[in-house]
Amino acid sequence: MILTVDIGNTTVCVCGVERRETAELSARFCTRLSTVHGKSGMEYAAELRQALEDAGVALTEIDGAVVSSVVPALNDPIHACICEVLGQEPVWITCRSRTGLTLDVEHPEKLGIDRIVDAAWVAANCPLPAITVDLGTCTTFNVIDEGGVFRGGAICVGMATGLKVLAARAAQLPELRLDQVGSVIGRNTEACMSSGAAIGAAAMIDGMVARMEQELGAPATLVLTGGMARYAEPFCTHPHIYEPHLLAKGLLLLYEWNTPAKKREPVRACG
């Protein structure tokens, strides 16, 4: 089992990913630690040990760790955490790692590593061109052209982020946690906000993907992922694949490609 660690703006997502005999990947467990600036590596280590214990995972089952990060301030504490818990250095993914992608963008070093990881897995396993949409703190679109060329994409306000801003700026709008979203036409304030967030995000995805396909001059494989994707995905009309563990699978793939002792193997292809 490999520990995949994604340091995001809201949470640090930790998954235990292993490969089955069929070469299909299985996420044994996933947990989220709060992204807190100033928290020490030892504090994160205590949380991680507890998460592993709760999941019934023994340290002897973990062969290594791989990390992507979009929060540089947390890199040192998380590095110290992994070294403390596992007793070994993790593999860090950067724009210079082996990804199978050609980064055809300005300033590749400024590209979010999570976007590179998502794109790398899709480029290796799905028909191209392809578009990934990751719905988290931000909603990010990545466009991967034929030959694994990363063309760029778009970054939009995330669903939960937008709801928090509404509640903070509008006196009569409450804080809202998305649960079940029904009709597009809401009949009360909460229903209106839920519709605007979830179904509005789905409509945005459909519209953005259609315009991206126009620029590409070809239809694209659409892959949806991210913590908020489960709310918008049912309302997307564009044909798509929903892969909640896309980032973890991409991290395992890049761990294998960037660890000399590991042999490159195909991961379960898109269905």
Catalytic residue among 54, 63, 76, 114: 114
Cis? peptide before 129, omega within 30° of 0: yes
Contact (CB, 8 A) for 146 and 130:
no
* DSSP symbols for 44-111: HHHHHHHHHHHHT--GGG--EEEEEES-GGGHHHHHHHHHHHHSSPPEEP-TTS--S-EE-SS-GGGS
Tokens representing 174?
């409450």
Contact (CB, 8 A) for 185 and 84:
no
Q: What's the CA gap between 115 and 201, in Å, rounded?
A: 19
Q: What's the CA gap between 59 and 76, in Å, rounded?
A: 21
The number of residues in the chain equals: 271
Q: What's the CA gap between 92 and 112, in Å, rounded?
A: 13
Strands 91-92 and 64-69: parallel
Cross-strand bridge partners of residue 225 = 134
Of 268, 264, 219, 211, residue with least CA distance to 239: 219
Catalytic residue status for 118: no
**Residues carrying an active site annotation:** 114
